[in-house]
Homo-oligomer: A and B are copies of this chain.
Amino acid sequence: MNLKWRKNILNTTSQKISIFALGGVNEIGKNMYVLQSNDDIVVIDCGSKFPDESLLGIDLIIQDISYLQENQEKLRALIVTHGHEDHTGGIPYFLKQLNIPIYATNLTLGLIEIKLKEHGLLRSTKLFLIDSESELQFGTIRTTFFKTSHSIPDCLGIAFHTSQGTIVHTGDFKFDWTPVDRHGPDIHKMAALGENGVLLLLSESTNAERPGSTPSERLVGDHIEEAFRHAPRKVFISTFASNVHRIQQIVDASIKTNRKIALLGRSMVNVVAVAIDRGYLKVPEGMIIEANEVNSMDPEKVVILCTGSQGEPMAALSRLSSSNFRQVEVLPEDTVILAAGPIPGNERSISRIVDNLFQLGARVIYGSGSVTGLHVSGHACQEELKLMLTLMKPKYFVPIHGEYRMLHQHKLLAESVGVHSENIFIVSNGDVVDIENNEAIQTRSVDAGNVFVDGIGIGDVGEIILRDRKVLSEDGMLVIVTTISKSAGKIISGPDTISRGFIYGPESGELINEVNETVQATIHKMKDKNRNQRVLKQSIKKSVEQLLYSRTKRKPMILPIMIEV
């Protein structure tokens, strides 16, 4: 320990440490964890999340970072643990609101740079390359790292050495003892951290419901090679573009079975380029062919590596399955391999693609990884989570990165290896765990929540707009325009009724007549009583609503428009 560091400790013994999530707990996605030591804030990860079907029209969900905006003078760093979307996808939107230096490993930085280029933010952002041996000082917070294995290379866990003790964030991890790139998890470092005392552990919970251990990525390689050998003609194989280890195994299997590789899908092309460029993917010269070369080659000599394993409608696999890809097509006796597990919620879209591929006459290899051997998870199952907890021996434990039931199961696992129940905090986004005098408590919260990205706008679509979209999506709408005389309140023209998404005009003349009659009657009835436009509109709305519900049992949005001339 050098002198400078010793001085820091002496100066900071009375400091309070605060830890909270701005995203990532009670959800899968938009991870962001914050560590604050008095005047120094370090942010860990900045992910995005895809909206579920109830958030109509929303493109992306990111974090509410108002706490960080209010404390921007304290912001020291954004450390990104690895290059997955749920840890990086929010970065461009964050940077549009707040500038912050970013620290990440080589591959992670490469993937972040693609995003920054797309958003025109590359020049204005400070990027710092780190590795698992880096030692950084963010104000009073000394920070070291350890390698973890996951479904993307170059992942980090983080140790924050604070005045109160060591706080460890695992990042995403599994324990893969036979990693494809031979860079296994830093188990000795983890053991040393635990031996020296970990005050608080934040550990990911994705697979906390699953017993046992996650198999090694290497097992997938053998199954890929076997599938390639048995394929009579072209092979299409779809996996996550970011799973560079799996892509390496696909490359290796292609070499062994004497096939060249074409890449389909923008993210596949981008990630493979970055991974080759930065030395994470070894591809012999001449192995990769252009998509438009596929048709001129012997089908037994080709592998097409493509995006779309989650059934995304615009991705390569979906377009191939509906014969909607210009340069390449799936033909009878071609083999299509789905080398990825379904993310919950995507099952139906994937099934639809498999159906279509079978209809094209393809041999399709699909289904859960435990059956096909063509997918393993990147996350630790229960036995591995217990290993991490045992290595770290934390006094306090905060399960992160998971929906509530996963956090709950992770809590039970922690208890089973000896963490005291009262020292485990299941938090919501924004709940702060404060550590002072070596004691942790959770009593306060900061602002946290979902911010919606729709088109260019960040956060400008709120509850009212979403509620309107819901009504419009279910039963459409009816605009009723009437021109009345300012002086007498008499109808000059109209009512004219226009419908969208409710009834089809040309077939609904009778109902529209009834609507117009109801509007006329309402205006007539109100004529002498009340000339207040708002009241009149309310009456029209109510009477038309009643009419329509009695006739159709539906409740479209009704927009009465009154023009006074």
Contact = CB atoms under 8 A, between A and B. Distances in A.
A507 B552 CA distance: 35
A344 B351 CA distance: 10
Given A405-B355, A561-B561, A472 B492 contact: no
A52 to B, nearest CB: 7
A498 B561 contact: yes
Given A476-B468, A483-B563, A209 B500 contact: no
A116 interface: no
B507 A460 contact: yes
Interface stretch (A214-222, A258-266, A451-459, A523-531): A451-459
A476 B476 CA distance: 10
Contacts of A498: 559, 561
B56 A53 contact: no
Nearest to A505: B464
A120 interface: no
Nearest to A474: B57
A74 interface: no
A557 interface: yes
A53 B51 CA distance: 13
A182 interface: no
Contacts of A405: 351, 354-355, 358, 364, 366
Given A483-B563, A565-B493, A503 B345 contact: no
Given A364-B405, A404-B359, A56 B465 contact: no
Contacts of A454: 475, 554
Contact of A500 (B52, B481, B552, B557): B557
Contact of A474 (B56, B345, B356, B492): B56
A408 B354 CA distance: 11
A404 B356 CA distance: 8
A552 B347 CA distance: 32
Contacts of A479: 479, 559, 561
A83 interface: no
Q: Which of A473, A475, A492, A565 is packed against the most chain B CB atoms within 10 Å?
A: A473
A4 interface: no
Interface string A104-137: 0000000000000000000000000000000000
Contacts of A476: 57, 465, 468-469, 472
A465 B347 contact: no
Interface centre among A405, A483, A502, A557 (most CB of B within 10 A): A405
Interface in A26-79: 26, 52-53, 56-57
B477 A553 contact: no
Interface string A529-565: 0000000000000000000000111100101010101
Nearest to A364: B405
B501 A469 contact: yes
Interface in A332-367: 344-345, 347-348, 351, 354-356, 358-359, 364, 366-367
Interface of A: 26, 52-53, 56-57, 209, 344-345, 347-348, 351, 354-356, 358-359, 364, 366-367, 403-405, 408, 454-457, 460, 462, 464-466, 468-470, 472-477, 479, 481, 483, 492-494, 498, 500-504, 507, 551-554, 557, 559, 561, 563, 565
Given A364-B405, A455-B552, A460-B504, 20 more contacts: A26-B355, A52-B348, A56-B473, A57-B501, A345-B347, A351-B405, A457-B552, A457-B554, A460-B507, A465-B502, A465-B504, A468-B476, A468-B500, A469-B474, A469-B501, A479-B561, A492-B565, A493-B565, A561-B561, A563-B563
15 contacts: A53-B53, A57-B476, A355-B403, A355-B405, A359-B404, A454-B554, A455-B475, A456-B552, A460-B504, A465-B504, A473-B473, A481-B561, A483-B565, A561-B561, A563-B563
Which 5 residue pairs of A and B lie closest in terms of their CB atoms, listed nearest first?
A473-B473, A455-B553, A472-B472, A57-B474, A355-B404
